[in-house]
Chain A
Amino acid sequence: MDVKTNKVRPRRHNQEMLPTSLMLLPSTLLLIVCSIYPFVWIFRYVCYNYNGFTATYTGTKNLERLVKDKQFWQSVGTTFEYAGLKLLFIIPLALLLAVMLHMRMKGHNLQRGILFMPTVIATSISGMIFAFIFATQNGILNAILQNLHLIKTPVKWLTSTDYVMAAVTILAVWGGLGNYMLYFITGLDGVSEDCYESAKIDGANGFKTFFFVTLPMLAPVLKTVLMLAITSAFKDYEAIMVLSKGGPGNRSMVMFLYIYNTIFGTANSSTQPQIGYGALLSVAAALIVGCVTVIYLFVSRKLDHITE
């Protein structure tokens, strides 16, 4: 009997593996071609001055430059600041909106659609839209604030080093809120009604239900959402590039925008595109984002077991 079973299992196993492998093949190929190969490709040039046409071997000079590159390390600091500000607002707001919409209030589908809309607008377009909103002269935001008597003189949202981080954070929160809200709503849909009924029987009010039932039950989703939010916040640069170009005075220069400028952006008659050095910066940036993710996964490992 045992012998018979052993003969059948590998065949069934093989039969199951084939369609699985075939289904995985296109995405695996795409991953190799579009992600893994380019990442390996950049290693070719980390020791070169490469302008897209000629490559000159420079040994460890790019590495020495990286260590001394104050502007890059400043941009790393700005990236942490930007990511911190974005996460500080976007996660609680997305969670709050998800909980409110999950209450199935009147018109919740319409509200969900409206809140999700910014997510489908291209970041470059939203960057341009917000350039009008944040304009000092005739800007919509300043007009509203002045009409509400909250400010007396127009705020220089994009030309003052004091306010530009607030401006890029508002844009980032506006653009990403709907996405995270949707993840949380999906998570909330998975929470059993029994838990809420039990809490009700035990006399828990809305506040207690949220903190002692909803939030713990959402922990695994929260862990994933936070990880996605952290990695995307560290990689954001497109909207900032359109909105403030990393200025004023590099105040909003984030890591990946600096890398973009190094490779493509600032070359003029007296400077060269620096693909080699940019490649090394990309590796450094990937390591930084990787380290942050690993630290987060280590810190957040308890969230997996919170409902057990």
Chain B
Amino acid sequence: MKVQNLITERSVAAGEPQWLKEKRLEAWQKFQEIPLTDTDNETWMRTDISKLNLSEIIENTVTSIEPSAFSLQPSSNNGIIFTDIKSALFKHSDIIKKYFLTKYPLTDTERFLSLHTALWRDGVFLYVPSNSALKTPFRIISNMKSRAGNFPHSIIIVEKGGKASIIEENYSADNGSQVLMGSMVEVFVGEDAELNYSYVQNLELNAYNIPIRRVYVEKNGKINWTQVDVGGRLTKSFTEITLKGRGSSSNVYGIVAGSGKQHFDISPVIYHQVEETKGNVLIKGVLSGSARSVFQGLVKIDKAGRKADSYLANHNLILSEGARADTIPKLEIDIGDVSASHGATVGEIDSDQLFYLMSRGLSAAEAQEIIVNGFVEPIILNIDSEELREKVRNIIADKLK
């Protein structure tokens, strides 16, 4: 049966509203019309996904009857709603319709954005009403077991003056065949609101990981985003933060720790749309084996972005002969009265540091581990859970041994 018919059938069977079914079909149509990502397309030119068997994954996805890979503990108190998106679709359909994929995409992610929109299933809905605050982080754990694609869609809304924290962990089981994680998160941070989002993925090596994140921040709102990418055969992540309100700010921190033949392509975009906004991006890569990382960061400041202040940085430690790092920190500045800068470095471990530690009785391997820990620790400290911080330290240490 044709994919289109299966999408319709599944949407109807799930009791989805008409508008959502139409959105899926429209996206599927669009997905088929967009040409394959090729090397002329700058977004994909350094990341080769030709080995990803997309048609098989799509087919398996639309015929799959496997249960959800997502787990969360639903809760609601003081008006805070934390639930799976399917229930939210029925209980809070007006909010979902208002926020679900209504914004225009910034960069050329359209092909996977369309695929995601056509096939999405599961995900999380978090709604934090005005002036509510919850100290304990909300946890989302995704343990992907299927043989196909996973396309969870999450919507996070923090209303005016609200505060919240989210922890998302992605894992998978290696059952020998390729799997695709095509998640998407839409985040809306209201006026004077603040959200911490910590993301850690340690997928198995059969997984292709192409997450799309869209974050919109209103006046004086703040997003702290931390992402740790350790696993997966290939990761291509799009994290786009739009600073829409005056005085809004964002911090994006990231770690890439690769070994073997892993490939990571991290593309954060900070888009300053109005005046007095603040952006800060710091992504650190540690690469061993013949792992490869690509950083394509972009700071974009609109004409209206007077007094914007933005910093974009990418630093890479190369631990082995075969590893490789490409870094492209771009600035597009449309107005004079701003402060924008970037920095990027690629290099091996400083031999003086190594020598110093070894002269104090450490083996070369131990000394390297300490230096790498020191390199990534400032990023790890931004994860909002001591338990997860410790887990990440261990994962990275094991990985680079």
A and B are interacting partners: no
Q: B: which residues have CB within 8 A of A?
A: none
